[in-house]
Each structure stands twice: as C-alpha cells, then as structure tokens.
Amino acid sequence: MLNNVIEIKNLTKQFDDFTLNNVSLNIPSGTVVGLIGENGAGKSTLISSLLGILKSNYTKLTIFNKDLKKYEKEIKSDIAVIFDETHFNLEFTPKFIGLLMSKTYPNWDMKLYHKYLEQFEIPLKKKIKKFSRGMKMKMEFAIAFSHDAKLIILDEATSGLDPIVRDEILNILRTFTEEEDHTVLMSSHITSDLDKISDYIAYLHHGELLFMKSYDELHENYGIIHGSKELLESLNDDDIIGVIKEPYHYSVLVNNRVEIQKTFADLEISRPTVEEIMLFYAKGAKKLC
Ligand SMILES: Nc1ncnc2c1ncn2[C@@H]1O[C@H](COP(=O)(O)OP(=O)(O)OP(=O)(O)O)[C@@H](O)[C@H]1O
C-alpha cells in the first residue's frame, strides 16, 4: 500500500466569481501526479491553497501526514515549489541565490546545485534580469533539485522550456520518484509531458475535481472510436464520455474499451492521450446529435 504524501478533504476556496468546490484528493508517495484542466479551472488555486499560500476551508489538509497549519515550517523545508515564473529578485545572480539557499535549507547541496547549473548552461555570475524566461525556469529547477526535497510541486513550471530541456527535466523527475518517498505534483498544459511521466492524472474542471485516476487505468479503459452514427448508436450510453462531430464521422470517447472490443472484435479503438481525454470531457457532447 502506498502512503499518501498529501491528503486533502473537502477543500473549498471561494473568490467573487469562482469557487474551487469541495475538492478531495490524495497524492500517493513515490508517484508523479499530473494536474490538468482548462485555463481558469482552478489548478493554481488548488496548489496555492494546499500550500497555505491562499486561505481556504477544508476538513483535512495534511502533507507528510502532518497538519499544514501546525507544522508549516517543518513541512516546507521538504518541499520544492516552482511556479510559472521566478520569484527571486532579478538583481540576484545564481551564485548569490545559491548562498541564500544554503542558509535557507538544512540539506542544501551546493555541489549538486552547481552541477545542475552547468548541465542547464546557466551562468553563475550573471544577474537573472538578463536571463531568458527559460533560463530563469532552469535555475528554479536547479534549486528544486538541490535541497533534498521529498515533494516537488510544479505549477506550469515547464511551459517556457524548449523540448530538449523539458525532456532532461522529465528524466530527472522520473529518476527522482524512483525513491519511494519522493513525489511530484505538476500542473501543465503540455499534456504530452504528462503522458510521458504521470502515474496519475487529476482533472479539475470548472473548479471541481472531475477525477483522479491512474494513468494505466485511463490508458487501459478509455478508448476512442471513429465511426458512423449507426455504429455509435449501438454503443451503450453509460460507456460514452463524450462525442465530437467531425466533418464526415463521429468520434467518441468510451470508458469501457475492453468490453466494447469484445463485442465489436473488428472495431478499431485507439488509446487516448491526456489531451484527447481533456478535449472529450470539455467539448464532447454526451449524446450523438
Ligand atoms: N486572487 C484572486 N482573486 C480573485 N479571483 C482569483 C484569484 N486567483 C484566481 N482567481 C480566479 O480563480 C479562477 C481559477 O484560477 P486559477 O489560476 O486557479 O486557474 P488555473 O487552472 O491555474 O488556470 P491557468 O491554466 O490559466 O493557469 C479564475 O477564474 C481566476 O480568475
């Protein structure tokens, strides 16, 4: 049995025109959890709420099995968080930031930090105001990987990075979670990255948690069928997640791929990507029309 690193029960955060509504979510230790959802779905609100940056209401919020309010300092020294931009003073250099971090984190590893800066081709002594967006984010990753964090939380952190650096970072994250007590929670609109590394997908839609499922379960059970109206009408309504009308046919996302394949042996049913699952949930009608 996996332990949960984060446990959230009935978390609600209300803004004037948006509510993150009653979210309950467990993040299992040793896994990568991809948090998906359209713009404004509430991903950043959830991440900031679970970190206590935003005040929210809940019946339970623990990280490392400890109450966040009581043990905030202790908990946070074991977490690395990267948002979609750097929060460091732009006059600072990576070298100076390394010194600051060595005073902040008891487990700071300066050698490792320098190794990552070198790997990501980040100059030590240049002010970060002269960095490109990607360089600033790479420096954030070098920091996150250098203080022996147990939990890495990324909020759209890879969005400014080129595919090669993203690939390097995904590999580092994958290696990181090979240790059973290392966990990653990452929100990203680059769903192909999530296809590569996620063990679980949590899907927020209009402030509600639509589901959290293992990637294998999604891959195994969900399927996309392209076909005529007649073919698709023969499917059981309960198996249909969403239907999209294409110019010359219908596409349907189903949640019962294996059983349907048994009934229609010749039918081609493809396995969906995270992006396709999002599209069908968000845009697909529930019925054929
Ligand atoms: N400080 C705030 N005050 C008022 N409303 C806010 C605040 N922060 C976020 N919101 C609202 O909460 C909703 C969810 O925003 P949030 O940033 O959590 O979404 P998201 O899923 O992270 O979106 P994106 O993918 O665009 O980053 C939006 O309608 C936003 O306007």
pLDDT tens-digit map of 164-220: 989 989 998 999 898 888 999 999 999 999 999 999 999 999 999 999 999 999 989
45 lines ligand 1 (CB under 6 A): yes
Residue (of 47, 129, 29) closest to 84 by Cα position? 47
Ligand 1 centre to CA of 16 (Å) is 11
* List of domains in the chain: 4-218 (3.40.50.300), 222-283 (no CATH)
The yes-or-no verdict on residue 1 having pLDDT over 70 is no
Helix (H) or strand (E) holding 241: strand 240-245
What's the 120 CA to ligand 1 centre distance in angstroms? 31
8 A C-beta contact, residue 123 and residue 94: yes
Q: Is 206 in the pocket of ligand 1 (CB under 6 A)?
A: no
CA of 259 to the centre of ligand 1 (A): 39
- Count how many Cα atoms sit within 13 Å of the Cα of residue 50 in the half-sphere of its side chain: 29
Nearest CA, atom 5, ligand 1: 15
Tell me if 40 CB under 6 Å of ligand 1.
Answer: yes
> What crossing angle do the helices spanning 133-144 and 110-119 adopt, rounded to 10°?
150
Q: How far apart are CA 84 and CA 270, in angstroms?
A: 33
Pocket lining: 43 vs ligand 1, CB cutoff 6 Å: yes
**Cα Rg, the chain, nearest whole Å:** 21
Q: What share of the chain is helix, strand, coil (3-state, %, to 5)?
A: 35, 30, 35
Whether residue 288 has pLDDT greater than 60: no
Lowest mean pLDDT among 15-29, 30-44, 252-266: 252-266
Q: 289 falls in which pLDDT band (50, 70, 90)?
A: very low
Cα of 215 vs its chain's centroid, Å: 12
For ligand 1, say whether the CB of 14 is within 6 Å of any of its atoms. Answer: no
SS3 59: coil
- Asked if the model's pLDDT at residue 147 lies above 70, the reply is yes
166, 242 Cβ separation under 8 angstroms: no
Q: Which atom of ligand 1 is nearest to the CA of 156?
A: 27
Q: Going by CA atoms, what residue is nearest to atom 2 of ligand 1?
A: 15
Give residue 285's pLDDT.
66
Q: Evaluate: CB of 39 within 6 angstroms of ligand 1.
A: yes
Q: Whose CA is nearest to atom 24 of ligand 1?
A: 39
Find the 188 Cα to ligand 1 centroid distance in Å. Answer: 15
Q: Among the residues of 82-182, which ranges form H helices? A: 94-104, 110-119, 133-144, 163-176
Q: Looking at ligand 1, which atom is closest to the CA of residue 46?
A: 18
Give, using CA atoms, the residue closest to atom 13 of ligand 1. Answer: 40
Residue of the nearest CA to atom 27 in ligand 1?
39
Atom of ligand 1 nearest to the CA of 204: 21
Summarised one tens digit per residue, pLDDT across range 35-92 is 999 999 999 999 999 999 999 999 999 999 999 889 998 899 899 999 988 989 999 9
Closest Cα partner for 274 from 214, 192, 212?
Answer: 192
* Ligand 1 contact via 44 beta carbon (within 6 Å): yes
Q: Does the beta carbon of 251 sit less than 6 angstroms from any atom of ligand 1?
A: no
